[in-house]
Amino acid sequence: MLRVYSLQIRPSLGKVEENLKRILDLLLDVKDGSLVVLPEMWQCGFDYENMTKHAQATQDVLIELSKHSKEKNLTLIGTYPTQEGTCTYNTAIVLSNGQVLGKRHKIKLFPLYQEDKFFCAGAKNAVFQTPFGNLGILICFELRFTSLVLELKRQRVQIITVPAMWGEGRKEHWKIFTKSRAIELQAYLIASNAWGKVGKEDYAGCSGIYDPWGSVLSYAEKGDAVLSASIDLVQVEKVRELLPVED
């Protein structure tokens, strides 16, 4: 059995050190050797006016997280602002046992939050080979795009991680998508969302962990939360054998 977690917080807009401390405090409750999913852009929120500065701070944030990842043999997944040339990206980064295992830029930028005006879009999806099996990432708004989901299905991911800052006004969509994508992909899904008022936006919370049948293993509506569940990747193959849905 593998232990997985979803951390739900209300980030303070633009306050990197404060947000990092909160995440590190929550990680104290996480068992060694676990997989942990963090919210999208948790270190600063969508503080666009200062995003270049926040992107410069990302390396220091990753250094601090890497220490904890190595000390506790954790695999950590979240998204961060990063700078490459003239482009700022919303980038998913996978840390495992203190090392950067891989990363990818968010492909589908959310126009209602003006992401498309401040970030460059990523070009391609990725699947990561981790100590927790074949793992895919859908970043927030990307949950809506069947093309990205089908890419993960073709590569037979066993775990889908969803770092998000999903708005309160679309909460019911979020709850449906997180459950239905687990069912569709016949995989475990770990969703980590922000909650409450962050800047001008209100976020839905409703983070959760779902099994390949779509059953809820752990869930939180509002409030800072450490969600956890034990998962068995054998169950992924059993579900796929029992109910084959390959094209």
In a domain, 24, yes or no: yes
In a domain, 228, yes or no: yes
CATH number, domain of 230, equals 3.60.110.10
pLDDT above 90: residue 247: no
In a domain, 26, yes or no: yes
Q: Is the dihedral of CA 24, 138, 162, 71 positive or negative?
A: negative
In a domain, 217, yes or no: yes
Residue with tokens 């919370």: 205
- Domain tally, the chain: 1
Q: How far is 234 from 5, CA to CA, in rounded Å?
A: 19
Residue span of the structural domain in which 64 resides: 2-242
Task: Note the pLDDT tens digit of each residue in 128-187.
Answer: 999 999 999 999 999 999 999 999 999 999 999 999 999 999 999 999 999 999 999 999
Element containing residue 198 per DSSP (H, E): strand 195-198
In a domain, 33, yes or no: yes
Residue with tokens 């679309």: 170
Instruction: Specify the pLDDT at position 246.
Output: 79
Which has the closest alpha carbon to 187: 161, 211, 163? 211
In a domain, 247, yes or no: no
